[in-house]
Structures are given as C-alpha cells and as structure tokens.
Amino acid sequence: MILHHARSAGRTGAWRRLGALALFAALALAAPLAGAAPAEERPTVVNLNTASPAELEALPGVGAKRADAIVAARKARGGFKSVDELVDVRGIGPAQLEKLRPHLRVSNDAPGGAAKP
C-alpha cells in the first residue's frame, strides 16, 4: 500500500510540474502579444520633416512632450537635414537617438508622415 501511494504521488507531482510548465510557457508566449500594436499601427519609418505629433508619439520612447519638442525644433530650424540633428532636441540624447534611428528618415520630398523604405 505504501509503495502504491508513493508511485501515484510521484505521478501527481510530475503532472503538476508539467501543468505548471505548460502554463508558464503559455503566459510567456502571450505576454509579448498582449501589449503589441497591430502591424498597421506601428510605423516602419517616419519622416522627421513631415511627421505629425501623433506619428512621432508612436515611436519608441517618444511621448507627447517629446513629440511636441521635435515639431518645435523642426519649425525653428526649418526642417532637419539629418537624423543626427535630433540630439539637439531637449530630452533626446545619443542613446535615445540610437533607439529611434531605425524608425527615422529625413526627406523634404515625401508628403505625409509615414513612409516605407
């Protein structure tokens, strides 16, 4: 009887561990998807010289204040000639610029804010 109880307890423990592992895996896979925006809402590349504040806010690490600062700097300098000029905007340092760089381009000839490479 004791032997039978030990075997069934071992199986139950194994099933619990397996169930916990399955739950962990399901949560780990679902977590990145829960907060992700649909692909059509995520900008691939944004033109710094034509993007609206809303388009700029969609970029990683850019909130309303930073988007407004980018637009103000763009107006003050008559547009950006290079993405590197973004470090002159208050609140954007070299590290933030490197996070934004893949999402930015500078062009004066493309209407609208978002452009695909």
Q: What per-residue confidence (pLDDT) applies to 23?
A: 63
Entry pTM: 0.57
Domain count for the chain: 2
Tokens of 74: 């763009």
Judgement on whether residues 53 and 6 belong to the same structural domain of the protein: no
Judgement on whether residues 55 and 71 belong to the same structural domain of the protein: yes
Q: What is the torsional sign of CA 113, 87, 68, 78?
A: negative
H or E segment to which residue 105 belongs: strand 104-105
Judgement on whether residues 29 and 44 belong to the same structural domain of the protein: no
In angstroms, how far is the first alpha carbon of the chain from the final one? 71
Q: What phi and psi, each to the nearest 5 degrees, are found at residue 63?
A: -105, -170
Q: What per-residue confidence (pLDDT) applies to 78?
A: 93
Tokens of 95: 């590290």
Place of tokens 């893949």: 102
Judgement on whether residues 24 and 65 belong to the same structural domain of the protein: no
Judgement on whether residues 28 and 56 belong to the same structural domain of the protein: no
Q: What per-residue confidence (pLDDT) applies to 44?
A: 75
Q: What per-residue confidence (pLDDT) applies to 57?
A: 93
3-state helix, strand, coil in the chain (%, to 5): 60, 5, 35
Classify residue 21 as exposed, middle or buried by CB count within 10 Å of its CB (0-12, 13-18, 19+).
Answer: exposed
Q: What is the pLDDT along the chain (117 residues), one digit of tens a residue?
A: 555 555 555 566 777 777 666 666 666 666 555 454 554 555 578 999 999 999 999 999 899 999 999 999 999 999 999 999 999 998 899 999 999 999 999 987 544 444 444
Q: What per-residue confidence (pLDDT) applies to 113?
A: 41
Judgement on whether residues 79 and 95 belong to the same structural domain of the protein: yes
Distance in angstroms (rounded) separating the CA atoms of residues 68 and 63: 9
Judgement on whether residues 23 and 74 belong to the same structural domain of the protein: no
